[in-house]
Chains A and B, each alone.
Chain A
Amino acid sequence: MLVSKSLDTDLARSEKQTLYRIATLYLLLGIIIILGFSVMYYNAQKELMLQEQKSTLQQETKELLLRLKRLHVNFDKTQIYPRSKVYESAIFDSDKKQIFATTPTQLQLDKILYLQDGMISLVSIPESYYLGAKYVIVKIKDDGLWYSKTKQELLIFNFLALSVMFVIGYVLLRLFLKPMRDAMHLLDRFIKDTTHELNTPVSTIVTNIEMIERKKLDAQTLKKIKRIDVGAKTISNIYQDLTYLTLGNKIVTHDRLLDVGQLLHERVDYFTSLAEAKKVSLDLEIVTDGTLFIDSAKLSKLVDNLISNAIKYNKMHGYVHVILQKNEIVVADGGIGIAKENIKKMQERYARFTHVSGGFGLGLSIVASIAQEYALEISIDSKESEWTKVSVKW
């Protein structure tokens, strides 16, 4: 049994969406944790810097208090407030009323050491209230070095953390995907093996049926042959679909200017016996003949799938109209239709929404793939239980 080495495993859109959501959630969660850690680290660094500056500020406060004491004792002689080039200061009374300040200052009593507007401030309560000052604030300018250092460290840390997270996420995602990929791999392998094994018997049956001279047959045998013909064509279609999917990218394309009307005639003729067997009327209407630069096998595959679906998902005594109009092929049927919410998912591989007829859910996936290759526009409209209309425009 031959197994192709190429793995055509693909993840369906909904599965990809789920994976994207998980990845986004993972990243978002990671970013929140990193941000939380960054904020904590920033606050810790700020606190460390404040504590480092605290002794300097305490020293300056001590010096200011000495000068305030001197001023208090000699207030009748001088009223010049003590100033310094190193620090700014402010004094407040016990009712938090500002007595004097070298720069505009607001008294905050919830913290004794804080950073505000680029100034590091220390609030002290001296034992004696010189000049009535119960609260003495001494402020020095923050040089911002700690901030630059912390910012740089955080940037490096965040970059490394995100990179590690990304790698872990990628490994986890691959682990999560493995069972799904294995399942799809298995399905692909099965299809490839089946396709290979079907090749010879299907070709033999179809060729031999075509070679039978039907005029020489009696009515009963002819009926049986027609049934075999229908069965063989169904198998042949499935076989071709599977071949296209498994070997799609290896098929040599022969694009040429094709008479679309003629091709439609051939395909409608081909499916007539299948339609008759399902008691479905199949007709072709050519409003405007047209040509298309395309590979004939691929256009046949596209049309075959549309007609085959229209017959397969039809009602007893239903109809299938194939219409060729200006730059458009329309396949309309009076079949079981499809729910609006399922129309978007129809072109996904293995998508099936009914069990009234057999199939792998590959047909419209192939149609979409060919349409994408030749930039054809596919539109599907349907009313559940009433009709479906598939249009291919170029």
Chain B
Amino acid sequence: MVKIFLLVLLLSSLNAGVYETNCLACHKKLPVSIDKYFYRYLLKYSSERAVKKAMLEYLQHPSQESSVMGEAFLSRFGVKQKSHLSNASLKKALNVYWNTYKVFGKLK
């Protein structure tokens, strides 16, 4: 039982690692906090499945058309560069991102 718990903890920390190293580290340098992007996606795509799918597509093939950000933001910061992370790593990072900012279970 303890072994399983430790394994889950290890996997979580590994996932959190991908997110923190490859996402959070860069976004911290930007004036727009990372949660604002999340709520933009939520506003447009609604469900967990649709949000994650749209984010993954954007990370792999970023473009002005597929961006959820406004024109002013894009003209100031431009379109993000394509991610070189693997599909699996991106999904792990997105899982952490979703769990951090999701609405489910938080409303009172």
Q: B-contacting residues of A (Cβ < 8 Å)?
A: 72-73, 75-76, 79-81, 93-95, 97, 99-100, 128-134
Contact = CB atoms under 8 A, between A and B. Distances in A.
Contacts of A73: 39
Interface string B45-64: 11111110000000000000
B108 A132 contact: no
A133 B48 CA distance: 11
A96 to B, nearest CB: 9
B103 A97 contact: no
5 contacts: A72-B43, A75-B39, A93-B48, A128-B43, A129-B44
- Name A's interface SS: loop
A79 B106 contact: yes
B32 to A, nearest CB: 13
A99 B50 contact: no
B45 A94 contact: yes
Contacts of B49: 95
- Name B's interface SS: helix
Nearest to A135: B46
Contacts of B45: 94, 129, 132
A341 to B, nearest CB: 75
Interface in B62-107: 103-104, 106-107
Interface of B: 35, 39, 42-51, 103-104, 106-108
A95 B42 contact: no
A89 to B, nearest CB: 12
Given A95-B50, A134-B47, A129 B108 contact: no
B103 A99 contact: yes
A129 B43 contact: yes
Nearest to B36: A76
Contact of B103 (A94, A95, A131): A131
A95 B48 contact: yes
B47 A93 contact: yes
B46 A129 contact: yes
Contacts of A97: 47-48, 104
Nearest to A130: B43
B102 to A, nearest CB: 9
A73 B43 CA distance: 10
Given A93-B47, A94-B47, A95-B47, A131 B108 contact: no
A129 B35 contact: no
Nearest to B42: A132
Given A72-B39, A75-B39, A94 B46 contact: yes
A133 B104 CA distance: 11
A134 B44 CA distance: 9
Contacts of A72: 39, 42-43
A289 to B, nearest CB: 103
A66 B48 CA distance: 23
A92 to B, nearest CB: 9
A94 B43 CA distance: 11
A73 B48 CA distance: 19
A317 B43 CA distance: 110
A130 B103 CA distance: 10
Nearest to A97: B47
